[in-house]
Chains A and B, each alone.
Chain A
Amino acid sequence: MTPLLRVVDLHKSFGELTVLDGISLDVERGQKVSIIGPSGSGKTTLLRCVNYLEKPTSGHIYIDGTLIGEKEVGGRYVHLSDRELAKERADIGFVFQRFNLFPHLTALGNVTIAPQKVLGLTREAAEARGREMLQKVGLGHKIDQYPERLSGGQQQRVAIARALAMQPKLMLFDEATSALDPELIGEVLRVMRQLAEEGSTMVIVTHEIQFAGEVSDRVIFMDHGKIVEEGPPAQVLSNPQLPRTREFLKHIQDR
Chain B
Amino acid sequence: MTFWQYLEAKGPYLLTTLLGGWPQTAIVAIGSLLFALIFGLAVALVRLSAWRPLRWPAIAYIEFFRGTPALVQLFVIYFGLPDIGLSPTPLQAAIVGLGMNGAAYLAEIYRAGIESIHRGQMEAALALGLTPGKAMQHIVLPQAVRTMLPPITSFAIVLLKDTSIVFSVGVVEIMALARNLVTETLHSAAVYLIAGLLYLCMTIPMSRLAARLERQRQAWQ
* Interface status of A113 (Cβ within 8 A of chain B): yes
CA of A98 to CA of B132 in the docked complex: distance in angstroms? Answer: 20
CA of A102 to CA of B127 in the docked complex: distance in angstroms? Answer: 13
- Chain A 155-172 near chain B by CB (<8 Å), digits 1 or 0: 000010011001000000
Q: Is the interface of B mostly helix, strand, loop or mixed?
A: helix
Q: How many A-B Cβ pairs are below 8 Å?
A: 75
**Which of A100, A101, A148 has the most chain B CB atoms closer than 10 A to its own CB?**
A100
* Interface status of B164 (Cβ within 8 A of chain A): no
* Interface status of B133 (Cβ within 8 A of chain A): yes
Q: A114, B128: Cβ atoms under 8 Å?
A: yes
> How large, as a class, is the contact surface on chain B?
20 to 34
- Chain A 55-94 near chain B by CB (<8 Å), digits 1 or 0: 0000000000000000000000000001100110111111
Q: B219, A89: Cβ atoms under 8 Å?
A: no
Q: A114, B130: Cβ atoms under 8 Å?
A: yes
Q: A102, B124: Cβ atoms under 8 Å?
A: yes
Given the known interface contacts A104-B218, A148-B221, the answer about A94 and B127 at a Cβ–Cβ threshold of 8 Å is yes
* Interface status of B143 (Cβ within 8 A of chain A): yes
* Interface status of A125 (Cβ within 8 A of chain B): no
> How large, as a class, is the contact surface on chain A?
20 to 34
Q: A89, B126: Cβ atoms under 8 Å?
A: yes
**Which of B131, B146, B221 has the most chain A CB atoms closer than 10 A to its own CB?**
B131
Q: A86, B129: Cβ atoms under 8 Å?
A: yes
Pick 10 A–B contacts, CB within 8 A, sort by A: A51-B127, A86-B126, A94-B127, A102-B121, A103-B220, A104-B142, A104-B218, A114-B129, A118-B130, A166-B129
In order of increasing CB-CB distance, the 3 nearest A-B pairs are A90-B129, A100-B124, A114-B128
Enumerate chain A interface residues (CB-CB to B < 8 A). 51, 53, 82-83, 86-87, 89-94, 96, 98, 100-105, 113-114, 117-118, 146-148, 159, 162-163, 166
